[in-house]
Structure formats: C-alpha cells, structure tokens
Structure 1
Amino acid sequence: MFTKLLKEVARGKRGARDLTYEEALEAADWIMNRKATPAQMGAFFIAERIKMESVEELEAFVNVSRDAAYRAPIQEGLDCAGPYDGRTKTFFASFATAFLLASAGLPVTLHGAKSLPPKWGVTLLDILAELGIGKEQLKRDRVVPTAAATGVLFVDTEEWCPPLKELRDIREELGMRTVLNTAEKLIDFSHSPYLVFGVYHNTVFDRMSKLLTDLQYRRALIIQGAEGSEDLFIERPTRTYIVENGEARLHVIDPETYGLETTLPEHVEWTAAEQIETVEAVLQGKAHVGYVNQVLLNAAVRLRLADRADSVEEAIYQCKDLLDSGAAWERYTQWRSSLLSEETPAPIGGVK
C-alpha cells in the first residue's frame, strides 16, 4: 500500500500529485511507525522535497506526530517553534526572551533535539549541556514541575515523541530537509494557544498560514527570522504574517519604529558556550545593547501577540523594567537551579 502512495508523489516534476489528507495520514502512519522500509521512507522524503509538501500533507504529518507524542495542557501560553537544525551565525534570542516573558507572567514552551540537517547548527540542547543540563535533568518528572514553578517548559522532542528519535538515522543519512522538519515544530506539547514560528523563505508564508489556521491556534506569528528562526531582526525590519480568526496578514516589524534598531557586533560563528554567555549577560543587563534590544523587541512583540499588553510600546517599557529590576535574571536562575536540583521546585509569583 505504501508503494502506491509513494508512486503518486514520485512520478516526476509533471506527473507527481499531492496526496489527499487521508492518503497523507496513511503515509505518515507508515513512516512514523516504521512500517515502511528505510529505502521507501528515504524515497518518500526526497520525492516530497522535490514536489514540495501541500498543506494537507503537512497537516497529516503534524497530527500523526502529535498522536505519537506525550502532550498535556501543562501551561496556557506561548509555543516558540524554531528550526531544529540549530544556528551557526546568529544569537539565540528566543532562549533569553523566554525568561523575560515568564517574568512578565506569560508561560513559554521551548523544544528541540540534537542538531539535524541541513544546517547542523548549535541547538537548545547544546546550550543546556553547557549548563550541565542533560537527559537526566530533562526528564518529564523534572521539567514539568520546573515549568509549574517558573513558567518555562523545555521539551526534549525526541524523548516526548519517540518515533522522531527512531527516524533520526534516516534523516542524518539523507542530510536534507524533510517534511519532519516542519511537523516536529508543531507538535505543541503543552497545548499552547499562541505560537511564534520561524521560516527561512517568504515563499512558504501562504502555506504555513493555511496550516496554522487549520491547526486552530488562537493567534500565531510566522517570522522570516535569522537563519529561519522565530527571532525578529534588530538591525533591520522583519517580514512576518499574523494568523488570526482564519485570516493572515503581512506585518513588517521595524525596530526603528520603537527606537531599538541597533547594529550587532560582527560574529562569524557561534558556539554553545558563547550563546549561553550572551544569554546570561543579556538577562543581567551586561550584554551589548544590540542583543539586549533584540530580546526586548522579541519579548514585547510576543507579549502583544498573547494579549498581555495593549501595544508593543507598552510591552517594551514593561520588559525594560523586568530586566532592570533583575526579575528576568531571577526567573532564569531559578529555572536553572530547579533542573539541576533534586528537590521539587517551589512556585514563584507571576506565572499564570
């Protein structure tokens, strides 16, 4: 049966057709449950890459991935969906931003896995490893209480969705982007009503808008960010799409509008150690103003997205106060200590 589905998407540039949603569900089931052979799975991924996945095909893989994952309404907040192939040339602003948002009362879910193709960049797991946070500290019985106490949940995706771990060898051998690169970012482990989602090319805005509408997020922001991430640029405007009430509209976010546009220091390639050093410097107010402003802008736009502020301008002032007062740094240090401690974390104020 899988061979029949494979033939439909692999008939060449002119003969290939998109699968129906029901067909795509079946194909996703064959792949996620490893009922197809490695050769068949590799052929399917390549054929889809050439044809380009339809919205129905993407949605099917998202839903099958969700069915295979541990998901629970752990906290009602914001899901940050960045690329699982990591970063090489840009600052991981989302990580620092998470603690600023949590200190403002907006729970945040972060998720990731070991680096993947095509970029093979530094990932959140690499950054956490620099803090001494590994698989033992990232088990559910630690991260869920930590999220309840601090408002920041980190999910090791391949542990919460085992089929993705089992498919890693095939993805690494192929060395290219597959439909899973999108699906894994949309598993929505904590049932978040709000989403920020990074893309690399603006040509996918329309497809992703339709997909996020079908997945019924209350409000989502698709961002053509640095290295395909969900982080807004600080040195220039960023193209975004706001998806809400079944509609999507283009919204260009210009840091100059808010007096935040800054030239960042020249940095050729980032290591995990440099990422965490800069994150901690930002949260302590000791970093280059460009990185501080980038975190302020991303946090303010996300607070507005989640209706936690009446305007981006208001949110910027709120976030500045939280940085200056040390509240964001305190949230980060408690989160870090909670994961590294054997004791059950105690809740602190501000998490809703």
Structure 2
Amino acid sequence: MLTKWLKEVGRGKRGARDLNYEEAKDAAELILGGKATPAQIGAFFIAERIKMETVEELEAFVHVCRAYSHRTTVHKGMDCAGPYDGRKKSFYATFATAFVLGAAGLPVTLHGTGSLPPKWGITLQDILKEMDIEIDSVTRERFIETARETGVLYVSAEEWCPPLRELRSIRVELGMRTVLNTAEKLIDFAGSPYLLFGVYHNTVFERMAKLSEKLGYERSLIVQGVEGSEDLFIERPTRTYSVQNGEAVQQIIDPDAYGLETALPEIEWTAALQKETIEAVLQGGGHLAFANQVLLNAAVRLHLAGKADSVEQGVYMSKALLDEGEPWKLYSRWKNSLQTIKSV
C-alpha cells in the first residue's frame, strides 16, 4: 500500500524522511501501476513536493516510467527534454533547431503532451496541430518510420507511456508541479546518448547533473533556459551544467561571444504564430532574434554531441545548412509524412 511510504514522506518538515531507491521504486510502481487511490497519489505528490525529491527518488520514478513505456531503437542521438507544461512568453526554438540538427546528421527526439500545470502554456502538440498533424490519428509506427527517414522523432508521451495519461486528471486537479514533471522528461524514448535538459532554478543543477550521470547518458547539458526549457537565451547569457565522465562543469553560454546576441521583440504568442515563426526561420527568414536563437542552440547541441569541434564551428555549420535550405527540406518531408499517412 502506498500509505506505507506516504507516512514516511508526509510527516511534516521535521519528521519526513527521504525514501531510498528501492522504497521509491515501490512507491512509483504502486502509482504508475494503478495500485493506489487518487487520494493517496495526490497526497504523495504533495508530500514529495514539500519535502523535495532526492536523486534516488527521481531515479526510481524514471526507471518505473521507462518500464511502462514503449521505447524504440530507431536512432541514437540527442534527447531534448523540455517542460511539458509548455511556453507562454517565448519562441519554441528547440523545434526549429531539431531540423537543423537532423540536416547536420544528428538525430533528435522531441516529446511532450497536451498542456499541463503549473504553466498551462503552448505545447509542441499544439504546434503540431497547427501543422495539420493530428496526434491521435498518427500511429506510433508512423512516427518511428518518419524518424527513420528524417532523423527527427516526435513522441506523444501519454501514448507511449500510458500511466501518464491515467494520472493526468490527478495532476490537473492538484495544479502544481509533481515528481512526474521531472521523471516524464527523462523516459528517453529512443535510448539517446546525449541529453539536453531544461530547468527553472539553478538550485537543482547539482541534483540533475547527478541524476543524468546515474541514468547513463554519455554527455548531458543541463540548461537554465527560457521558461525553464532547454533553449538558450539569445538576449543574455544562459547558465548551464555540462556533465561528462562523472564530472559536472558550470558553463555560462553568452550569445555575444559569437556575435549573436539580439534583443527580443514583444510578442503575444499563439500556436499558429509559433508555427509561422518556425517555418520562417527554417526558410532562412524571420526575425533576426529567432534566427540567431536557432543558430546558437543548434551550435551548442552539435558541439555537445561531438558533431562540431567548437560552438563557433557549430554556428558556421548551422548557418551554412540554413542558407542551403536543408533544414527546410527536411522539415517539409517530416511534416508531409505525418500529414498524409494516418491510422485507419
């Protein structure tokens, strides 16, 4: 029964204790396996939120989420793990960047769900709908085949990990962040050796660095990015942690160092405007700030994965690809594949 563990984590500020890995794994199994009541699950989530999850607890929840998920070996590349609660005030640079990386020969996995608390922002799925891609109609096999053809995989997380769908109503009722907000981003649906992980607060850098190491990624970049996402800022420096071979190094990535720093326009974002801006950038146009943001993010990711010897080289590579129109061609193929072939 989940109440056994709830009594441990929910004893209040002084009495609560952290669960070890095996205890947390049992709690995660009870929650994701449908063996606990909604009241118990909600109470556990709140207690963990107050206590703050440890690396061991997060690791346990990630492993159980993975056990309940469909995972594929379609490609080995970079997993871009941004918040599933979406964006309200910023450009989805990671989406456009995925096609620059794909054109450079670096496979990418993107994943998400319909909007969630606490932010309730625009999600990747909202943007896909604007592209006339009906998420619920495209089969998992079609997403995989499209990834095989283009190097860009999109995962509808609640389809690939059904317990997330079952737990949605509890998360919506709570209206706050839970342990799942972290765990779902680390399911690693394609077994990626490289991880790009967005965080809101620099206080979690060390914890997330340890977690990414425990989960076996070859290289990770933990980014205190735009709205807690994996996207680097273009109007100011971004604080990051680079993790490799058990060593975590803090890095400040300054767009001005690469001649890319640009002031952002004030925009009221909608899913339709996100799509329009993504397509403009991929065609070599759009506002300079968003074009430069894609260049910077692509360059840093190419360097992280060893596709570029330096961020500077990554910028040149990405600009050349955009000038040649390769990311736009790849995006068009990807979109057309998912628009035209749907499940019956």
Instruction: Give distance in 2, aligned partners of 1:135 and 1:78.
Output: 22
Give the conservation status (yes or no) of the 8 Å contact 1:138–1:155.
Answer: no
Partner of 2:105: 105
Deviation at 1:137, TM superposition (A): 4.7
Residue type matched to 1:2 in 2? L
**Are positions 1:278 and 2:273 aligned together?**
no
**Are positions 1:208 and 2:208 aligned together?**
yes
Residue type matched to 1:77 in 2? G
Instruction: Give distance in 2, aligned partners of 1:230 and 1:139.
Output: 27
Give the conservation status (yes or no) of the 8 Å contact 2:78–2:108.
Answer: yes
Q: TM-score, normalised by structure 1?
A: 0.96
Instruction: Give distance in 1, aligned partners of 2:246 and 2:180.
Output: 24
Deviation track 1:116-158 (CA, whole Å, cap 9, x = no partner) reads 0000000000000001111345321211110010110000000
Give the conservation status (yes or no) of the 8 Å contact 1:137–1:143.
Answer: no
1:186-197 superposed matches below 5 A? 186-197=186-197
Partner of 2:246: 246
Deviation track 1:294-325 (CA, whole Å, cap 9, x = no partner) reads 00000000000000011111111111011011
Partner of 1:150: 150
Instruction: Give distance in 2, aligned partners of 1:18 and 1:143.
Output: 39
Deviation track 1:20-58 (CA, whole Å, cap 9, x = no partner) reads 100000000010012111100000000000000000000
- After superposition, the Cα gap between the structure-2 partners of 1:174 and 1:119, relative to the gap in structure 1 and judged at 3 Å, is same
What SS class does the counterpart of residue 167 from structure 1 fall into? helix
What SS class does the counterpart of residue 240 from structure 1 fall into? strand
- After superposition, the Cα gap between the structure-2 partners of 1:282 and 1:204, relative to the gap in structure 1 and judged at 3 Å, is same
Instruction: Give distance in 1, aligned partners of 2:67 and 2:13.
Output: 32
Partner of 1:29: 29
Give the conservation status (yes or no) of the 8 Å contact 2:80–2:109.
Answer: yes
Deviation at 1:4, TM superposition (A): 1.5
Partner of 1:14: 14
**Are positions 1:165 and 2:165 aligned together?**
yes
Deviation at 1:73, TM superposition (A): 1.4
Instruction: Give distance in 2, aligned partners of 1:103 and 1:305.
Output: 16
Give the conservation status (yes or no) of the 8 Å contact 1:137–1:339.
Answer: no
Residue type matched to 2:285 in 1? K
Partner of 1:123: 123
What SS class does the counterpart of residue 100 from structure 2 fall into? helix
Partner of 1:289: 288
Unaligned 5+ runs, structure 1: 344-352
Instruction: Give distance in 2, aligned partners of 1:312 and 1:140.
Output: 34
Task: Give identity over the alignment, percent.
Answer: 68
Residue type matched to 2:300 in 1? V
1:74-85 superposed matches below 5 A? 74-85=74-85
Instruction: Give distance in 1, aligned partners of 2:249 and 2:138.
Output: 37
Q: TM-score, normalised by structure 2?
A: 0.98
Give the conservation status (yes or no) of the 8 Å contact 1:33–1:163.
Answer: yes
Give the conservation status (yes or no) of the 8 Å contact 2:125–2:135.
Answer: no
Instruction: Give distance in 2, aligned partners of 1:271 and 1:104.
Output: 29
Where in structure 1 do 4 or more consecutive aligned residues deviate above 2 Å? 135-138
Give the conservation status (yes or no) of the 8 Å contact 1:137–1:340.
Answer: no
Deviation at 1:264, TM superposition (A): 1.1
Instruction: Give distance in 2, aligned partners of 1:197 and 1:312.
Output: 18
Q: How many residues matched?
A: 343
Partner of 1:348: none
Residue type matched to 1:333 in 2? S
Deviation track 1:156-183 (CA, whole Å, cap 9, x = no partner) reads 0000000000000000000000000000
What SS class does the counterpart of residue 248 from structure 1 fall into? strand
Residue type matched to 2:318 in 1? C
Partner of 2:41: 41
Give the conservation status (yes or no) of the 8 Å contact 1:138–1:156.
Answer: no
Deviation at 1:187, TM superposition (A): 0.2
**Are positions 1:309 and 2:308 aligned together?**
yes
Instruction: Give distance in 1, aligned partners of 2:122 and 2:150.
Output: 25
